Structure 1
Amino acid sequence: MILKYDEVVRSGVAKQVADNIRSAIMDGRLKIDERLPTEEELAKSFGISRPTVREALKRLAAENLIRSRRGPTGGNFVTRPDPEGLSAAITGAATLLVGIGAFDIDEIITARLETETICCRLAAANRTDADIEALEAEIRVQLDETISDEAFCASDVRFHRALVNSAGNGPLNLMMYTVVEAFMPITNMIVSRVRDRRAVAGFHKQLASAIKNRDAARATEALAAMLAYLRDNYSTSLERRERALAARA
């Protein structure tokens, strides 16, 4: 039997049904692209109502574990887990934690330095010409003084996303999604008014050049200098904010 119907108890039934099906997917009892039993069949097997089954299926769909298809051959099918989708869920939680101050700037900088250093080392070994072009394209955007701060920050995120991609390591890419998509936008928002955009683009040029020349040591040095600059600007920004609040008080 693929699904363990007898394990379901009555409290929180929809959640337990979803957990039961999720376990079957995760341990391979339900395969990628396999069709789930119909709502009626699930309701009968679990001994629950069809609305409860629908609620359980909605939970699984929200986690990108199943997808629905209409028509005579339709139904609910096990979907291949999407790393980006799974990372996005983690990133949402991380963004909230950063926003409420659960992590301080030193923790964030340390996390970025340690993890992006690995990316720099692998990128120097594995980068392709297309990776270098992606990095250099963002530098060209950043050197355009007419773009807005929002556009500059978005390019900054894309640059580091391209850096991670150039490492050529899928699990690392998944792990770095939160660092790039959650930590960077929050810190960029805080330092955007005090940092020199030309200085940031200059650090990026050093990084891209080192990776292009497959010089991991120089790439990590450029990364460390850039993050030290970010830390200093973060502190400056917070000091200005505190002075402004004190003046208003």
Structure 2
Amino acid sequence: MVLNYDGVVRGSVAKQVADSIREAIMDGRLKMDERLPTEEELARRFGISRPTVREALKRLAAQNLIQSKRGPSGGTFVMRPDPAGLSGTITAAATLLVGVGAFDIDEIITARRETEAICCRLAAANRKEEELAAMEAEITLQSDSATSDEEFCASDVRFHRALVRASRNGPLELMMYTVIEAFIPITNMIVVRMRERQQIVSLHRDMLDAVRRSDAPAAITALERLLDYLRAMYNATLTARAARSAS
């Protein structure tokens, strides 16, 4: 392990120490699952107090970069990146940005059209039976009239999550978390009353069937039809809201 123990100045010392360790993790000087020195050792090497070290470690733990383990073989270890954990921060930020109007519907639809099209193409080539089965299960749930609006929206997210998994590309899956976990729920929340479920189900079926037969162009076409429909429903919803407000 190689850490730069020099250069810590007064100010937010805990933040500086956390940043130093974070840089060592990000550039590979600290390896995954490597044990960090003890609090006492870190305090001595950085020339700071143990409470300050403790605060720095809390910052790193909050970023899902380290974790503590108890027992004889315990200590503080560099974590293996967890896409689901990392997505929490990304999704929260994206949801906030959408909520305050930083992104409009055209930007969101364009982002989905371009990125999910890549997923369709890779899924058509790489999909396994487990992803096809997961998508099929969500279509079955969506087709059930007893499914609540909330359950339908959650199923919609899971359907597209399975499509992304079917791409079998880890970096792409991480990149798609914002789209799947933030953009889709926000759009669903707005169009839920206006959209026709059967239309969504039909387009999901077209996407699944195309991926199953490894027909990437057909899968992308179905995706584009789905996004065009959602854009239309989004605009119709906003128009209806404006009319109610005016009256």
TM-score range, shorter chain: over 0.9
Shift of 1:89: 1.2
Deviation string, structure 1 residues 115-161 (Cα, Å, up to 9, x no partner)? 11111111111111222111111000000011110000000000000
Distance of 2:241 and 2:163 partners within structure 1: 32
Query: Which residue in the other structure is 1:166 paired with?
Result: 166
Matches within 5 A, 1:121-160: 121-160=121-160
Shift of 1:88: 2.1
Deviates more, 1:96-105 or 1:237-246: 237-246
Distance of 1:34 and 1:167 partners within structure 2: 31
Shift of 1:199: 0.6
Query: Which residue in the other structure is 2:109 paired with?
Result: 109
Question: Which amino acid is 2:14 matched to?
Answer: A
Query: Which residue in the other structure is 2:96 paired with?
Result: 96
- SS of residue paired to 1:53: helix
Residue 73 to residue 129, structure 1, CA distance change in 2 (3 Å):
closer
Deviation string, structure 1 residues 165-213 (Cα, Å, up to 9, x no partner)? 1111111111111100000000000000000011100100111111111
TM-score, structure 1 as length reference:
0.96
Distance of 1:194 and 1:152 partners within structure 2: 14
Query: Which residue in the other structure is 2:77 paired with?
Result: 77
Query: Which residue in the other structure is 2:219 paired with?
Result: 219
Distance of 1:200 and 1:137 partners within structure 2: 15
Question: Which amino acid is 1:221 matched to?
Answer: T
Distance of 2:223 and 2:73 partners within structure 1: 53
Question: Which amino acid is 1:177 matched to?
Answer: Y
* Structure 1 stretches lacking a partner, 5+ long: none
Distance of 1:70 and 1:169 partners within structure 2: 34
Shift of 1:85: 1.6
Matches within 5 A, 1:53-72: 53-72=53-72
Identity value in percent: 67
Distance of 2:139 and 2:73 partners within structure 1: 49
Runs of 4+ in 1 over 6 A off after TM superposition: none
TM-score, structure 2 as length reference:
0.97
User: Are 1:22 and 2:27 an aligned pair?
Assistant: no
Query: Which residue in the other structure is 1:46 paired with?
Result: 46
Query: Which residue in the other structure is 1:195 paired with?
Result: 195
Distance of 1:197 and 1:170 partners within structure 2: 31
Question: Which amino acid is 1:224 matched to?
Answer: E
Shift of 1:31: 1.8
Distance of 2:218 and 2:74 partners within structure 1: 55
Shift of 1:77: 1.0
Question: Which amino acid is 1:133 matched to?
Answer: A
Deviates more, 1:223-232 or 1:119-128: 119-128
- SS of residue paired to 1:72: coil
Shift of 1:72: 3.0
Deviation string, structure 1 residues 3-46 (Cα, Å, up to 9, x no partner)? 21112111110000000111111222222222111111111221
Shift of 1:245: 2.0
